[in-house]
Chain A
Amino acid sequence: SAVISQKPSRDICQRGTSLTIQCQVDSQVTMMFWYRQQPGQSLTLIATANQGSEATYESGFVIDKFPISRPNLTFSTLTVSNMSPEDSSIYLCSVEEVQQGITGELFFGEGSRLTVL
């Protein structure tokens, strides 16, 4: 099973600034996912990051606001740009375990809790 480390675990940010969240996986994975979990709500997929190609963003999320890097098979970053209080949320990095071509479970990092003042 994959072990995922996220940094920072939490941060308090000022409006208009940007913050980069790092996600490190202890094994090589093809697909990495970035989710947002707003207070009292479900997980919303922001984008899927594949190594060697641009991230694929979900409806409502754009690259200018949430640029993503995926330099290798074990690491990814998500930047939350020009933050506003509405960006206050938990951001989760996730990878998928695939066995014999059958999709398995998702493994999650502990999340990065951002508060924007």
Chain B
Amino acid sequence: GDSVTQMEGPVTLSEEAFLTINCTYTATGYPSLFWYVQYPGEGLQLLLKATKADDKGSNKGFEATYRKETTSFHLEKGSVQVSDSAVYFCALFTSGTYKYIFGTGTRLKVLA
């Protein structure tokens, strides 16, 4: 079945460091891919998305490129801030099953 695998956390970085959170997927068909972020005490909110191969989603300095050949959607940011501390979830949606599949989440902690 469809699945999402993302790197385990927690990830601890200093402010202004470069961030990469790896995400790979398995799916039949052509899924849409998403990154959601959950700040402490809040619900999940969409960070960025890509709906087809080679699309790049971007928001708030975060980027991720839909790589069909490597079935990956890695999240990157060039310079993290303390306010980026949160849990990040990679997710996919396939219209065939009409289901969203979430990864296990990666907790990011940014130190000042």
Chain A residues at the B interface, C-beta cutoff of 8 Å: 4, 33, 41-43, 45, 92, 102-111
Contact = CB atoms under 8 A, between A and B. Distances in A.
Query: Is chain B's interface secondary structure helix, strand, loop, or mixed overall?
Result: strand
A108 B47 CA distance: 13
Contacts of A102: 51
B104 A106 contact: no
Interface size class of B (residues with CB under 8 A): 20 to 34
A104 B41 CA distance: 24
Nearest to A4: B43
Nearest to B90: A42
A105 B43 contact: no
Contact of B103 (A42, A105, A106, A110): A42
Contacts of B103: 42
Given A102-B51, A103-B95, A105-B49, A43 B42 contact: no
